[in-house]
Chains A and B, each alone.
Chain A
Amino acid sequence: MTVMEQRGAYKPTPPPAWQPRTDPAPLLPDALPYRVLGTDAAAEADPGLLRRLYGELVRGRRYNAQATALTKQGRLAVYPSSTGQEACQVAAALVLEERDWLFPSYRDTLAAVARGLDPVQALTLLRGDWHTGYDPREHRIAPLCTPLATQLPHAVGLAHAAHLQGDDVVALALVGDGGTSEGDFHEALNFAAVWQAPVVFLVQNNGFAISVPLAKQTAAPSLAHKAVGYGMPGRLVDGNDAAAVHEVLSEAVAHARAGGGPTLVEAVTYRIDAHTNADDDKRYRGDSEVEAWRAHDPIGLLEHELTERGLLDEDGMRAAREKAEEMAADLRERMNRDPELDPMDLFAHVYARPTTQLLEQEAQLRAELDAEERHHESEGAAR
């Protein structure tokens, strides 16, 4: 019955009672990034964990330097460095159990390496001999994702599937500040919250999306605040403080594992190097800004804390550096060998059941390769 058809007078009443579905207060991030190193909270940090983090940071810094050098030598097609972001990379790897899944972006090879992946396999994409150099299921590391934020819904779906199967698995997905502007970021967070999926989103806010600073990316109070709109907690953390990132991520992972649903963590950090070797950061930022962040270096912060408390001495530092050098030497040595490529691999994995069209094209390439080989043979014979 419409109002027009109603008999008698229409009596206006207030709308049915409205209740907010979620109390936003507990979801709000702190006003300032959470810190441990250099604060009172540091006293409660596990010395063993701090020393382990230190070793991984030193190794990670060396890995970044080696990968950058390999790019300059033409051994990598491109390298997006995570120098300055090692605390985020290492902590993300260390908070996960073996059964958990990591969803890295292209800048997160170090996180994969810190999780235990062979650096040569981690760098396959950037070397260019294939797209993904490892079996994602074996390592529970999704393929390095290049299209921004598109890996986030995958993490949500995987975590949701694991939950449906009754498995005790958490997914941790990495994204940058620029990636938070993408639609897939929004959709992933929304699905995750609606499904209460056991997933943790770590935004490494490194200040820039190639050249575009955060101020041109968002007008939000912080990226962590975006969580509130989806009904999940947002946490803001000092991304160069390895102990703080580790603590905040550990809590978020435990929360997810206990059925508490997703968390969005914003780690405030800084991309010390240019976007990639192909980028010129002099065009969009000054040296003084970079220097200010160098004074808040993840390794420096942790080293200071450990030495102040007598947990690290010169021998310890040297040992960490030596381990890092071993990794770098091995990486250099293996990356300096040319990879073995089989062009027929181009057709091998497109389909489980290849189309007749593809089989024809495969035969064409095979014939071209055979002709090339015959040509080389006859040239060899002629000499």
Chain B
Amino acid sequence: MTTVAVKPATMAQALGRALRDAMADDPTVHVMGEDVGTLGGVFRVTDGLAKEFGEDRCTDTPLAEAGILGTAVGMAMYGLRPVVEMQFDAFAYPSFEQLISHVSRMRNRTRGAMPLPLTIRVPYGGGIGGVEHHSDSSEAYYMATPGLHVVTPATVADAYGLLRAAIASDDPVVFLEPKRLYWSKDSWNPDEPPAVEPVGRAVVRRSGRSATLITYGPSLPVCLEAAEAAQAEGWDLEVVDLRSLVPFDDETVSASVRHTGRAVVVHESGSFGGPGGEIAARVTERCFHYLEAPVLRVAGFDIPYPPPMLERHHLPGVDRILDAVARLQWEAEN
């Protein structure tokens, strides 16, 4: 039996491969956005697509996010399956009216007659030394909009599998790409991609008994590092990667917390009105009698995203996570 040479690939490459395969499989898939054509995107995710499929299917649009999403709505109304790239998290804001007033509710408005199978790719989060407006964690805005699915990969393999699933979905999907993981590498064989699975399932990335870290996207590697470091303190942490914020996988999350009895939600997004509040409430409602301590949140501060030279103080790091774990009322156990 020959072993397939498994070459490490970056998340950006896996995303590009997902787009390529989706376009090859389905002629209605169109990629559009700023600089996605000739340049291949500022993060090179769409590299080579215009060359392979032509500029009609991988289109450099005018620089106007509402126009990009608005015209993509019209294309989807006609039966195409557009994949839109917003260049950066904070540059997606001009498209919010189209997103909230049309993309998210067209299916509902028309009693299911006109679904919009759109994927909106948004590089998000900080940690790359970006100047202002290049590092926002905007997921809470999307989560608060009924009718959207909100998905975010944290591994190279998931980048491929989840993006394929998002494009195949008949619901509009906001696909959040953790930009500081674009260059993360993993031994993933692009010729044997993981089975495409529907969005909405979380996964346990590390099994443990002491407490559960609930996280997603850019904070997963930080949580895994924290879990390793926690061993020295005698804590055996479980780490759940949500992968999908909407739909939210209550089952996997609740099962983990019932098992460990303690939970910390970790994300870059601000704490107040952020995803962690909703997650903590859901966990508490479902696992109250199993909990040894209140569900804690380790999040970005409730401040406008800091300038690059100060961002390390803002982003949840290993120490802040371990501090939170230490506050999970361990004394009460005895």
Contacts and interface: CB of A to CB of B under 8 A. Distances in A.
A147 interface: yes
Given A131-B110, A135-B110, A160-B75, 5 more contacts: A132-B113, A147-B101, A153-B67, A157-B74, A356-B248
Interface stretch (B2-10, B77-85, B174-182, B320-328): B77-85
21 contacts: A135-B113, A150-B101, A153-B71, A154-B74, A154-B77, A156-B71, A156-B74, A157-B78, A161-B77, A161-B80, A164-B56, A184-B67, A187-B64, A187-B67, A191-B64, A349-B108, A349-B111, A349-B112, A355-B247, A356-B250, A357-B247
Interface string A308-351: 00000000000000000000000000000000000001001111
A142 interface: yes
Interface in B220-247: 246-247
Interface string B63-94: 01011011111111111100000000000001
Contacts of B101: 147, 150
Contacts of A136: 77, 110, 113-114
Contacts of B169: 352-353
Contacts of A161: 74-75, 77-80
B317 interface: no
A259 interface: no
A190 B112 CA distance: 31
Interface of A: 130-132, 135-138, 142-143, 147, 150, 152-162, 164-165, 171, 183-184, 187-188, 190-191, 194, 345, 348-353, 355-357
Contacts, number: 146
Contacts of B246: 355, 357
Contact of A350 (B64, B67, B72, B146): B146
Which of under 10, 10 to 19, 20 to 34, or 35 or more describes the interface residues of B? 35 or more
Given A131-B108, A147-B97, A356-B250, A157 B198 contact: no
Contact of A190 (B62, B114, B149, B251): B62
B174 to A, nearest CB: 13
A161 B81 CA distance: 10
Interface in B108-164: 108-115, 146-147, 149
A352 B73 contact: no
Contacts of B61: 191
